[in-house]
A and B are shown apart, each in its own frame.
Chain A
Amino acid sequence: MDDLLQEFIAETRETLGAISGEIVAWEAQPADGARLDAIFRFVHTVKGSCGFLDLPRLARLSHAAEDVLAAVRDGKRTPDTALVNAVLGIVDRISEIVEAIDAGSALDDSGEDLLIAALAPDAQRQAAAVPVLAASAPAGRATSRSVRLNVDLLDHMMSGMSEMVLARNELARRLRDSDVDPKVEAALERLSLTVADMRDTVTRTRMQKVDALFSALPRMVRDTSAELCKAVNLVIEGADVELDREMIELMRDPLVHIIRNSIDHGIETPMVRRVAGKPEAGRLVVSARQSGNQILIEISDDGQGIDVARIVAKAAEQNLHTLAELAAMSATAKLDLIFAPGLSSRDTVTATSGRGVGMDVVRENIEQIGGRIVLTNDPGRGLRIVIHVPLTLSILSTIIVGVGTQRFALARQSIEEIVTVRGDSVRIEAIGDAAAVLVRGRRMPLVSLGHLFRLGTEPPPTLVIVSTREGEYALGVDTVIDTEELVVKPASPAVMATGVYAGKTLPDNGLPMLLLDASGIAAVAGLRFAPVVVHDAGADEVVVPGVPALLFDDLDGQRRAIALAVIDRVEPVPTSAIRWTAGAMRLSVGDAIIPLHAVGEIGDRSEVAVLRLTDGESEMAYAIADAIEIVTLPAEIAPARRSASGGTGPIAGVVLIAGEQIELVDPHALFAGEPVTIASPPVCLLQVDGSGWMETFLKPALEASGYRCVTALAAGETAAVALAMEDAPVRETRAPVVTLRRARNAEGDNDASVYRYDRPALIAAIAARRGL
């Protein structure tokens, strides 16, 4: 932890030095977005680090400053002098606290509330009241035992060292050829030892185990997940892989950002996870491995993945792209929107993430070291982020193998074991025209390196069992010579084009050597591996079965639920894509048109969320106001009265969710086409009596049955049928009249009136009067 703190202090100090110029420039030109971004990133990084180093005061200050800067960035505030002063005050205070932490001295926190208050929009008047913090000389800056060095210097030292080794080797070779004084030999021996020692040290200055990057993660994951009330199991793999120190430094921030994002946005709360049929604790795997001439750092979670539709909607909302541009984007390009500066998929700002700073910084940092970042999104099941960084200057532990007259290096971590072909336990078999080996009962394909490289035709006496991501195979070689730690560099395109090498290296003997790429060799040799299904022990956890459903606010203000299984996705659509055409609401999606079900007015919204429902074959959309959350349906469903659908769409029944009665939408009825929207509904004239019963009770029921109800006919309109209460005078109308009575029983046999709550009889009577 102390190491981390020291590093944080050194880093903050360094950034502070670098951004002081930016701040002054920003003050002079408050509209300069680039400067603002730089300062924003600084406070954001400080905030992020404080989170897991447990420095609440710094976290509070940086969070406050970040809030204000975010408002400026969004154009909600204008950066005037008071605001710039207030931000500067915070930055100065951060620097003081950092110095105090380093010196181990206490710092009075009295002024901090004022500093934060000065950030408020109405603080201009009080600006003068902010105590000008005495430029108190930091009380005794602690003497540091570490020095931050320029990497160029290390590079220079490294290449000088290589030259030195080669010179030593040449000297040794020449001395071996001639008869020399044992004293000279002893001196050379001592020189060799010193050089070897120096080389190790110099190498170590550049190299660090990726563990240095990973060791801070468990604590950070624990704190972040606790903060967000989530359960996360962190799995770290491959902490032994060595990486260039500079790369580790540059990877630190991106990794922290990605992991915090993963926990905040990716992994769901335990309740949601349970409902979705996942184990309550999320699984976060951080691994490092070497693949070809790259180091791959992979962060994968089993959370909800990225909601691409939401990202696209956000990008449209924030005018990062026009709708047309967004519509034309490929799926990958849409996913890549999360790297756009200023984009956040969050609606609310939390202390953890959600300010749209982060992923753009992540990509910038990674591209700076010649790496790239690849996202694999599996909506609902998780997100995998793989960071590829070049192997250049990575030290690799290798095994040197000999084939014919040549030597090759093979990354040690890809080697399972080395066996000699002997007797029955290890033997080579011919299967058709392919070769295989049987190693203690395990059969695997054989690739003879001598054969592949045309360096020999003899069956290989030694087998190196290598495991690749695809599968394992035996690589036949003549001899296994040695193990060596090598600095591997990328080879020229002409060499890499063969597909079998991962890089080149120059070992101590001064002869160049190639590093073999085990996966590449398998591919070139034409090996085909069946995908290996890895059984995840974690999947054995008991999952409580239950039908998951989405709880949402409907357009009419009602809260309803619909089974999750029928929802393909939820996405916002512009209302301009919705049209009342050919007697039904329809939504245009891309170049297709799908029916849209809406129970209420879309009103003057410019965008409305729709549930894209599918039964596997056909598709329809259901417009909603807002999606709430995923719930599990209870087994008990109170069935809807068959006629209860009155205008609000098919309802299967009512369920009790968290003590609240929720209507459950019946997707079967939706897809069965109910209610059928008739192209030109017949008009039903209501002869209202002023009590309002007809409008409120009768009208929805009739409209659900496909009639349009009016209380007065418009010019040129004819009613198909008229309805009147028994005691109201029947007004002049040419339409047949259905009379409604209040009493349940008819007064006589020739009473043609209908009991007003006898719905089937009413519908039948109307149909009969219309002559159907």
Chain B
Amino acid sequence: MVKKRVIPCLDVAEGRVVKGVNFENLREMGEPVELAARYSELGADELVFLDITATLEGRGPILEVIARAADELTIPFTAGGGITAVADARDLLLAGADKVAINRAAFDEPAMLTALAGEFGSQAVVCAIDARGGEVVTHAGRRPRGRYAVDWAREAVDRGAGEILLTSIDADGTRSGYDLDLTRRVVDAVEVPVIASGGAGGAEHLADAFAAGAEAALIASIVHERPARLPELKAELEEAGWPMRR
């Protein structure tokens, strides 16, 4: 049976890890690939590099980060953030990302998903969906888009997405658990794996997401604060009966 995945997400701006890591850890861990390698050693099943660079000029360094990650990491990783066109996604995949996560650009131009799936296979194409109250939102949650996330997820998969990264903007940062109702509804609507995101505070929250049918759970602040939490989380999940990679 395929194992449930625990996926730390690293926010990167202009080639540096920029938040979610407290000051001491930031100094100690240095840059994204080093931090990623450390999470890999601690048992991360996959990683996500999310480029949150604010300016177009600052986007160059992420490709260098992805290329080094491809060389140095021995677990899969996804590159996301700031993808506005097929060419951006292709650059990241050709630089060595195993998958790309596409958010607003896919919503605005769903044919992107089809083009990328045709070239790289569906398994390389993750559709990232941010939702508030079940509705798709973009622009860091500021812009409601008048469409149910469940409905968009179904279309995204029909168009070629091989995985859905579902982030509840309501739950994000609360540490009070993933949006289980929405997760369950998206899981039921599509046949591809769903990654739950937003709201992880403890192992019980990841377990709840798995029980809701998510194949994987994204985590951020809880491990950035204390990376040693990662193997503890996995041990707690295994103890609770969830299949974890050994």
Partners in one complex: no
